[in-house]
Chain A
Amino acid sequence: MSGPRPEPAWDVIVIGAGHNALIASAYIARAGLRTLVLERRDRVGGAADTTRLAKGVRVPTLAHTVGRLRPSVQKDLDLKRHGLSLVAPDVRVFAPSPDGSAITLLADAEKTAVAFRLGGSLRARDSEAYAPFDRRVRKLGRFLDTIGRATPPDIESPGLGDALSALRLGSSFKALGRDGSRTILRVLPMAVADLVAESFESDALRAVLAWRGVRFGAVGPWSAGTAAMLLMDGAGNDGGAAGETVFARGGPGSLSAALLAAAYEAGADVRTKAEVVRITSRDGAATGVVLANGEEIRARGVVSGADPKRTLTTLVDPVALGPSLGWRAGNIRTPGVVAKVNLALKRLPTFPAAAGDEAALRGRIVVAPGIDAMERAFDATKYGRWSDQPILEATIPSLTDASLVDGAKEGVHVMSVIAQYAPHALRDGDWADNAERFADAVVDVLESVAPGIRKLVSHRQVITPADLERDYGLTGGHPLHAEAGLDQFFVWRPMLGHARYRLGIERLYLCGSGAHPGGGITGGPGQNAAREILADLRRR
């Protein structure tokens, strides 16, 4: 293996075509690098996809909202021109309870507080506390957004002290003010249950607000670090206390279609049904990939949109990685606890708590009956069982986007349900035996807030954590690629020393949700990674 080798045909190979990989590809190709995207499945988009559930009925396959997508990504890649159209209902969250009461969170916090007061089910103190809580979440979220847009500092560099003091004295930290800067350090490691209890008395309100702190995580509201997850969810968008509720018209797949168009226009090449089975390397640097059919493709750099654990433990040569890093990569935590249940409904279900107001159902419908109920649902996962009272976040996107059901009978609707907690590793039996039973439990919970819904279901799709691992390559079925815990955060996401999008070996990069600032349909990791990749590989 000596002598000069011919210049590779590609500058960059991107493994996978999820939303972050497509975004990274578009930015990289736009800068003039020859970019090839290789996707194992027959379609692009990863978790941002739309499935045909029945004749004329389409449903968000996995993710159902796209409101966290960075505005700068939308603008830079001109996604509107590429066909992205967003729908933002005024009701962000509707949280019905079986007793017929409900908490409704609107886009506007002041209006929400007024509605609380008029509704009469909450104490005056809680109504008054809502707008200040919303302002606090926004303020801390703004600070986390500046962190999220930055590449984590290099811990090895002697300039780290400078970096930290820059951070400390930086305008964003300063903008927090004296109390804000103390608050953020106190709040980030907190349990979200404690955070919401500092402001509110109502258990129902606490629970609906706490939901975003545990969504997609193998944690309950009493787990430390869940307050950070809530604040991160509102970072860089108009989330606030209610959180974002924005749909892509035509389903999340239309976001992926727009991203694909942007990547093509930028000059990237995208191949589907092209499964990468190995990342080749030489002298500790990535040199290309090998496909399942044996084809070898070389490139100056390799970017993985797959999760970091899969990338390092199954694609990279263990010898190149070394035993210490191999051990650390093997210990990246990926405890998936989320399943998806998609329903075609013969007609719109009746939620007594909505009192006939169809507009209330346009946002995210959160069924989280209380902090303890959420914690108990989480408890099941610790012992390898799925919760028989799962916490749900449902949407009925056909209410705001009729195109999803335009080939179906009049009155048909689709419902997309994120159901938690359902651990990837079951102690008794496997998911093949449990999927339908878990889906039954999900429908039972829906039945408790929308009596009669069970009979309205004409088609049902269940996607378990085992399916997420097998079909989407998500290790442990984790939708965020790696748990968003305090131990896999910022400078140590996915691992300390590898958070600057450079992963394990030279010229191997990570651009997916396993990288800072983490998961969700944000485009953050993809956009940040592209910046670092270009800094290394751009031809001068």
Chain B
Amino acid sequence: LDLPKHGLDILPLDGTFTPVYEGTGRTPPKDGNGNPIGTGDYLWRVNDHGRTVRELRRWSKLDVEAYEEYGPLMVDMARFIKPILAIVPPDPASIDPRPLLPLAGLLRSFQKLTERQQAVFVQLMTMSAFDFLSQWFETDPLKATMAASGIIGTFQGVRSPGTAYVLLHHYMGEIDGAFRAWGIPKGGTGGISNAIASAARANGVEIRTEAPVARIRVGGGRANGVVLATGEELDATSNVSSVDVRRTFIDLLEPGSIDSEFESEVRRFKFRGSSGKVNMALDALPNFTALPGEGEHLRGAISISPAVDDMERAYDDAKYGRFSAKPYIDIVIPTLVDPSMAPPGKHVMSCFVQYAPYQLDESLGGAAGWDLQREAFGDAVVNRIAEFAPDLPSKILHRQVMTPLDIERTTGLTEGNIFQGELSLEQLFFSRPVPGWARFKTPIRDLWLCGSSTHPGGGIMGANGRIAALEVLRSKGKRT
């Protein structure tokens, strides 16, 4: 879509800095004179391979060897898996063999992999992130930080089977030729949306904001337009919904528009939002005791994932209906990369937090209880970061806490699930969002899905929208 022309400017995100507990490091980092740099330790991976390896050597020589082998293997895996994301999943119960053809091609490329690569691929699809990584690495904070990418947005722990494959997402960017896989768009993630909107307009799309759709109009088993909240009616021959599957079929359709079996499948689709967001305006940058000062380490992601047990305990809290007392936090300070986002000298700190289960325990008031727990949750996040950067609380000017309930209210994402539905194995591919209905069309003719509720799931990569568009065009007999 030529997004850079439309203003998309992705600024590189430099590495991941993981502060760890005092005493858990191997050989604490020292300055040029041999004096310890700070108190406590850290694990810092940067986008410079040589530097990362030197840093890792401090922790484990074995892990350095493993790291050299692991990276290329993952790139191979990502290269293999990428075409899967662009496939329209076949219906396994259908007797039409044509949709199975891409699968046969996939099988042939699978057979071309070495036996070890094949085995690793199977492990990626079935194992927990922790078990998978433990085959290579021994450094606990390394495993915790790498495994974290397997649980983002899911109601799973790093030891839960099925979390390994998300590790691959980190290697997806590299095979596009971009040296740095992760980045922050200039102007915040809104920058991406604006660039895409601009591209859409350039192609002749009309975009109306503040136009909430109240209902999808259905007549004779066919969707033929929408009714806005204002009562205005719009006619359309194709209706494509990017909101999640539950909102589309339960909230936006007249009851009785879909058959009861399909409806019960939709109701069974699991959302289970598990993450929250805390944004802070800071008077000045925080100081991490392990590496004081305003160094480069603050320019990348700061991962509060000091130990695998901490990650798992954070999940345990959520399983029983509580937000994590010591959550996993992924911190970015975008103002270091893009100072235009705050007044001079001031900073913004964006914290992605897990776990914050949408459904709190009944003793906390269930989902509605979040309105009473919001600030307690915010405090838990600040306190958790303050374990490693004790001066943070004194630097906070403003704090915004987004609970899963808030995410649901403001964005319409059911249960605050950022991926429009849990990315668990039984809700992927053939079965996303409903078994037999994974091909973007729905039981109602001319109504299509294009959001993250569909294959290949969530994350800002745009694959769902692209494949859905191709399917809609195909049905209209239009060439792409």
Q: Residues of A at under 8 Å CB distance from B?
A: 155-156, 158, 160-161, 164-165, 168-169, 178-179, 181-183, 185-191, 194, 198, 219, 222-225, 324, 327-328, 331, 333, 372, 375-376, 379, 382-383, 485-487, 489, 492, 495-497
A495 to B118: give the CA distance in the assembly, Å. Answer: 10
Q: Are B161 and A487 in contact (CB under 8 A)?
A: yes
A155 touching B131 in the complex, CB below 8 Å, given contacts A178-B93, A382-B159, A486-B162: no
Interface residues in B88-146 (C-beta closer than 8 Å to A): 91-93, 95, 97, 100, 104, 107-108, 110-111, 115-116, 118-119, 122-123, 126-127, 131, 135
Contact (Cβ within 8 A) A186 B111: no
Contact between chains at A225 and B436 (CB < 8 Å): no
Known contacts A182-B430, A496-B115; is-contact A161 B104 (Cβ 8 Å): yes
The answer to the question of B426 belonging to the interface, with a C-beta cut-off of 8 Å to chain A, is yes
CB distance B122 to A485 under 8 Å? no
A486→B116 contact, CB < 8 A: no
A324's nearest neighbour on chain B, judged by CB, is B116
Known A182-B92, A186-B426; contact A331-B111, beta-carbon cutoff 8 A = no
Within 402-449 of B, Cβ neighbours of A (below 8 Å) are at 424-426, 430-431, 435-436
Q: Is B312's CB within 8 Å of the partner chain A?
A: yes
The reply to whether B436 and A182 form a contact with Cβ atoms under 8 Å apart is: yes
- Determine whether B268 belongs to the interface, using a CB cutoff of 8 Å to chain A: yes
Say yes or no for B322: interface residue by CB 8 A criterion.
Answer: no
Residue of A nearest to B164 (CB): A487
Q: Which residue of B lies closest to A158 (CB)?
A: B111
Task: Please give, as numbers and ranges, the residues of chain B lying within 8 Å of A372 by CB-CB distance.
Answer: 319-320
Question: B47 on the interface (CB 8 Å rule)?
Answer: no
Instruction: Output the least CB separation between A313 and chain B (Å).
Output: 14
Which of chain B's residues have a CB closer than 8 A to the CB of A489? 126
Say how far A162's CB is from chain B's closest CB, in angstroms: 10
Task: Give residues in B with beta carbon < 8 Å to A.
Answer: 91-93, 95, 97, 100, 104, 107-108, 110-111, 115-116, 118-119, 122-123, 126-127, 131, 135, 156, 159-162, 268, 270, 309, 312, 316, 319-320, 424-426, 430-431, 435-436
3 cross-chain pairs, A with B, having the tightest CB-CB distances, nearest first: A189-B425, A182-B435, A487-B126
Q: Are B92 and A495 in contact (CB under 8 A)?
A: no
Whose C-beta in chain A lies nearest to the C-beta of B435? A182
Contacts of B312 in A (CB 8 A): 382-383
- Chain B residues, CB < 8 A from A496: 115, 118-119, 122
* Least distance between A219 CB and chain B CB atoms (Å): 7
B426 touches A222 (CB 8 A): no
Least Cβ–Cβ distance between B312 and chain A, in angstroms:
6
Asked whether A222 and B162 contact (CB < 8 A) given A487-B127, A487-B131, the answer is: no
Interface centre among A164, A178, A224, A383 (most CB of B within 10 A): A224
- Using A182-B430, A327-B135 as known contacts, list a sample of 20 further A-B pairs with CB atoms less than 8 Å apart, ordered by residue number in A: A156-B111, A160-B107, A178-B93, A179-B93, A182-B435, A185-B431, A185-B435, A190-B426, A223-B161, A224-B156, A224-B160, A225-B162, A324-B116, A333-B131, A375-B319, A485-B126, A487-B123, A487-B131, A487-B161, A489-B126
**Cα A224 to Cα B125 with chains together (Å):** 12
Contacts of A222 in B (CB 8 A): 160, 319
Residues of chain B within 8 A of A225, CB atoms compared: 126, 161-162, 425
- Chain B residues with Cβ below 8 Å from A156 are 111, 115
CA distance A178 to B312 in the complex (A): 39
Q: Is the CB of B122 within 8 A of A224?
A: no
If A160-B111, A185-B92, A372-B320 touch, whether A492 touches B122 (CB-CB below 8 Å) is: yes
Which of B110, B122, B268, B424 has the most chain A CB within a 10 Å cutoff? B122
Q: Does B119 lie within 8 Å of A495, measured CB to CB?
A: yes
Partner of B424, one of A224, A379, A485: A224
Bound state CA distance, A381 and B78, in angstroms?
33
Shortest distance between the CB of B24 and any CB in chain A (Å): 15
| Set of chain A residues within 8 Å of B127, measured between Cβ atoms | 485-487
Knowing A168-B92, A182-B430, A496-B118, the reply to whether A486 touches B161 (Cβ < 8 A) is: yes
Nearest-neighbour CB distance to chain B for A169, whole angstroms, equals 8
Contacts of A223 in B (CB 8 A): 160-161
Residue of A whose beta carbon sits closest to that of B430:
A185
Least distance between B320 CB and chain A CB atoms (Å) = 6
Q: Which residues on the A side are within 8 Å of B116 (C-beta)?
A: 324, 328
Contact of A219 among B95, B161, B426 (CB under 8 A): B161
- How long is the Cα–Cα vector from A183 to B265 in the complex, in angstroms? 11
Question: Secondary structure at chain A's binding surface: helix, strand, loop or mixed?
Answer: helix
**Nearest chain-B residue to A184 (Cβ)?**
B92
Residues of B within 8 A of A181 (CB): 92-93
**Residues in A neighbouring B118, C-beta threshold 8 A:** 155, 496-497
Least CB distance from A181 to B in Å reads 4
Number of A-B contacts (CB under 8 A): 109
Contacts of A328 in B (CB 8 A): 116, 119
Taking the closest CB of chain A, its distance from the CB of B279, in whole angstroms, is: 31
A372 to B435, CA, bound (A): 28
Asked whether A497 and B92 contact (CB < 8 A) given A186-B435, A383-B309, the answer is no
Listed A/B pairs (22) with beta-carbon separation below 8 Å: A165-B100, A178-B93, A181-B92, A189-B425, A223-B160, A224-B424, A224-B426, A324-B115, A328-B119, A331-B135, A372-B320, A382-B312, A383-B309, A383-B312, A487-B127, A487-B161, A489-B126, A492-B122, A495-B119, A496-B115, A496-B122, A497-B118
Contact B93 A182 (CB under 8 A): yes
Task: Please tell me if the beta carbons of A224 and B91 are within 8 angstroms of each other in the complex.
Answer: no
Report the bound CA distance from A333 to B132 in whole Å.
11
- Least CB distance from A428 to B in Å reads 14
Asked whether, in the complex, the Cβ of A155 is within 8 Å of the Cβ of B431, the reply is no
A486 touching B126 in the complex, CB below 8 Å, given contacts A194-B270, A225-B161, A382-B159:
yes
Question: Is there contact, CB below 8 Å, between B115 and A183?
Answer: no
Query: In the bound complex, what is the Cα–Cα distance between A222 and B319 (angstroms)?
Result: 9
A156 to B114, CA, bound (A): 10
- Considering the complex, give the chain A residue whose CB is closest to the CB of B270: A194
Once bound together, how far apart are the Cα atoms of A154 and B95, in whole Å? 24
Closest Cβ–Cβ distance, residue B425 to chain A (whole Å): 3
CB distance from A217 to the nearest CB of B (A): 10
Q: A223–B268 Cα gap in the complex (Å)?
A: 18
In the bound complex, how far is the Cα of B154 from the Cα of A224, in angstroms? 13
CB of A50, distance to nearest CB on chain B (Å): 35
Judge whether A155 and B93 touch: CB under 8 Å.
Answer: no
Q: How far is the CA of A358 from the CA of B275 in the complex (A)?
A: 50
**Chain A residue at minimal CB-CB distance from B321:** A372
Residues in B neighbouring A155, C-beta threshold 8 A = 110-111, 118
Closest chain-B Cβ to A218's Cβ sits at a distance in Å of: 9
Docked complex Cα distance between A160 and B118 (Å): 14
> Which residues does chain B contribute within 8 Å of A168, judged by CB atoms?
92
In the complex, A496→B111 CA distance in Å? 12
Q: Which residues of A contact B92 (CB under 8 A)?
A: 168, 181-182, 185
Residue of A nearest to B130 (CB): A382
- Residues on B with C-beta less than 8 A from A160 are 107, 111
Q: How far in angstroms is the closest Cβ of chain B from A430?
A: 20
Residues in A neighbouring B435, C-beta threshold 8 A = 182-183, 185-186
**With A and B bound together, what is the CA distance between A383 and B309 in angstroms?**
7
CB distance from B119 to the nearest CB of A (A): 4
**C-alpha spacing A169/B115, complex, angstroms:** 27
Q: How far is the CB of A301 from chain B (nearest CB, A)?
A: 22
- Asked whether A161 lies within 8 Å of B424 as measured between CB atoms, the reply is no
State A492–B124 Cα separation when bound (angstroms): 13
CB neighbours of A382 from chain B (8 A): 159, 309, 312
Q: Which residues of B contact A485 (CB under 8 A)?
A: 126-127, 161
Closest to A335 in B: B131
CA distance A219 to B160 in the complex (A): 9
Considering the complex, give the chain A residue whose CB is closest to the CB of B97.
Answer: A165
B270: chain A residues at CB < 8 Å are 194
Q: Let me know if A224 and B425 touch, CB within 8 A.
A: yes
